[in-house]
Structures are given as C-alpha cells and as structure tokens.
Amino acid sequence: MSLNISEIFYSIQGEGVTTGIPSIFIRTQSCNLMCGGPLGKLMKEGKATWWCDSETVWKGGKVYTNEDIENKFIELGQLNNVLNGNTHLIWTGGEPTIARNANGIIEFLDYINNKYPTANIYNEIETNGSLVVPEAFYKDKKYINQINCSAKLANSGMPKAMRINKDAIAQITAHPNHWFKIVVSTEQDVQEVFEDYMKPFFISNNRLLLMPGVDNLNDLSERTRFVMDMAKKYNVRMCTRAHILAWDRVTGV
C-alpha cells in the first residue's frame, strides 16, 4: 500500500493539548475544503478572515510506500522513539481523513504494528472533522490515540454544508481522547463555536481549545491575549501557536 504525502518532518507539537511533545509530522496530500480560497482569494475579498497556511504544501507531494515511511523514521533517528510512543506521529494535511488517506494510514499502521508487535505508537490526527472515516479508524486505539479537530467556522469562507457533518462529529465525540481546537479571530467566532458545535453536539467545555487566527510573530502576542480573554470569559481552554513563536513560520519547522 502507499500514501500520497506532501512532507514528513521531525519537530515539536506547537498546538493543542500535547504542545511541546517531540513529534513526526506526516502531511497527507489533498483536502476537501479550501479555507480562505485558493491562495487566499476569499480572504483578500473579505469573505474569510484567514487562509489555509499549508495550501502550497499539501497540493504537492509524492507517493510513499509503507517501507518508505518507516525508512524516513530511521533517517530521522526516531524509529525507536516512535515505536515506544515518546515521539508522537501527527497525521495532518491537507485532510488525512479523505478516504484514500485514511485507508493508507490504516494500512501503514497495520504494517508497522505487525512488524514490531510490542510497539506502543502514539498517533494524533489533525482533522477538519467534516468527513466520516472507516469504522475502525477511531474505535481501535492501535490506529488513532488522539483526535485534534480543527472544525471550521464561517470565517473560513467555506459553506456550512461543507464544514459541518453531524455523522463525522459523532464519530469524533465518541472517541475518548477528542479535542476541538478551533481558530477564532473575533468574539462572534467564539459565539459561533458554541451555536454550531458545542450546543448541538453536546461537546463539553473542557474539550474545547480556542486558538488564535494568526500566521506571523508580529501579531502573535496580541492575538494570544485576545484568545486568553475569550477563554476566561467563556470558561474554556486556549492554546497559542508555539512554532510561530519559535520560528515565525507555520509549516515545515
């Protein structure tokens, strides 16, 4: 089996509840949404407040076999750390729950777990939460240990019918280690989070992290303070974007 992958790199998780953990990021190719429009077109037209910062990366890539991915872990000097769970695998995109990507991830994890039967791999998935996945993908912890759902709001410029899939959200909330990590730019965005996700899907406040819509170091401090204020007001968690703080970049670091 094979996966279309845009990039694989070793870094530190910069967002969410596992911020700070050494991680290998595996960015799968393609996405079912185009937040901000192609190359930020909707953002430039004022129809979105942010643009998918990884678009130029996930549109490219190449085919990796299971052995290619394993060899990349070896090349990075991280195979043992991956196998014992000290280095997390972060399946991201694009959108890793697109059918061909999800099936490829399952096949790879079956391959690696069969080859190393004592492995204790820790898999996180970064998803927009709009696609239903194969039944075993979330139910069997040998596949996905943690779901980081970056559900999209109107500020993405994407129609509601494309962003919100009740069956996909139900799959996510049934997982014991799910988190909703949602980009907000205004208080209206926060209110939308509650109206479109928290209330209709009975999501607990302690499963939500508000994250600033920011892609550069100059604005990070002010945007982080805004999200802190919102987290206090609405009694939820927040996170900033540590990779921007460290490198003033959003991808490949």
Contacts of 76 (CB under 8 A, 6+ apart): 8, 10, 24
Where in the sequence is the domain holding 155, given as residue range(s)? 2-183
pLDDT range class, residue 175, cuts 50, 70, 90: very high
Lowest mean pLDDT among 35-49, 56-70, 87-101: 35-49
Is the per-residue pLDDT at 194 higher than 90?
Answer: yes
Q: Which residues of 127-140 are buried (b: 16+ CB within 10 A; e: fewer)?
A: bbbbbbbbeebbee
Kindly state whether residue 246 falls inside one of the protein's structural domains: no
More confident residue, 115 or 48: 115
| Spatial distance between the Cα atoms of 155 and 240, rounded to a whole number of angstroms | 18
Q: What pLDDT is recorded for position 83?
A: 98
Kindly state whether residue 59 falls inside one of the protein's structural domains: yes
pLDDT range class, residue 56, cuts 50, 70, 90: confident
Kindly state whether residue 193 falls inside one of the protein's structural domains: no
Amino acid code (one letter) for 184? V
Kindly state whether residue 250 falls inside one of the protein's structural domains: no
Q: What is the pLDDT of residues 154-167, one digit of tens each?
A: 989 999 999 999 99
Is the per-residue pLDDT at 89 higher than 90?
Answer: yes
The answer to whether the beta carbons of residues 43 and 49 sit under 8 Å apart is: yes
Q: Residue written as tokens 């802190």?
A: 228
- Give the up-direction half-sphere exposure of residue 186: CA atoms within 13 A in the CB hemisphere: 10
Encoding tokens for residue 67?
């052995």
Task: Report the mean per-residue pLDDT for the chain.
Answer: 94
The conformation of residue 37, written as its DSSP 8-state character, comes to S
pLDDT range class, residue 202, cuts 50, 70, 90: very high
Q: What is the mean pLDDT of residues 12-31?
A: 96
- Residue 131 CA, chain-centre distance (Å), reads 13
Number of domains in the chain: 1
Q: What pLDDT is recorded for position 50?
A: 75
Q: What pLDDT is recorded for position 225?
A: 98
Q: What pLDDT is recorded for position 31?
A: 94
Q: What is the largest CA-CA distance in the chain?
A: 52
> CA Rg, the chain, in Å?
17
The answer to whether the beta carbons of residues 217 and 245 sit under 8 Å apart is: yes
Kindly state whether residue 53 falls inside one of the protein's structural domains: yes
Q: What pLDDT is recorded for position 46?
A: 85
| Spatial distance between the Cα atoms of 207 and 10, rounded to a whole number of angstroms | 27
List the CATH number of the domain containing 44: 3.20.20
How far apart, in Å, are the Cα atoms of 99 and each of 39, 104, 152, 219? 25, 8, 19, 36
Is the per-residue pLDDT at 37 higher than 90?
Answer: no
Q: What pLDDT is recorded for position 41?
A: 87
Q: What is the pLDDT of residues 102-149, one digit of tens each?
A: 999 999 999 999 999 999 999 999 999 999 999 899 986 779 999 999
Encoding tokens for residue 137?
């993908």
Is the per-residue pLDDT at 249 higher than 80?
Answer: no
More confident residue, 53 or 183: 183
Is the per-residue pLDDT at 228 higher than 80?
Answer: yes
Encoding tokens for residue 250?
């959003």
Contacts of 75 (CB under 8 A, 6+ apart): none
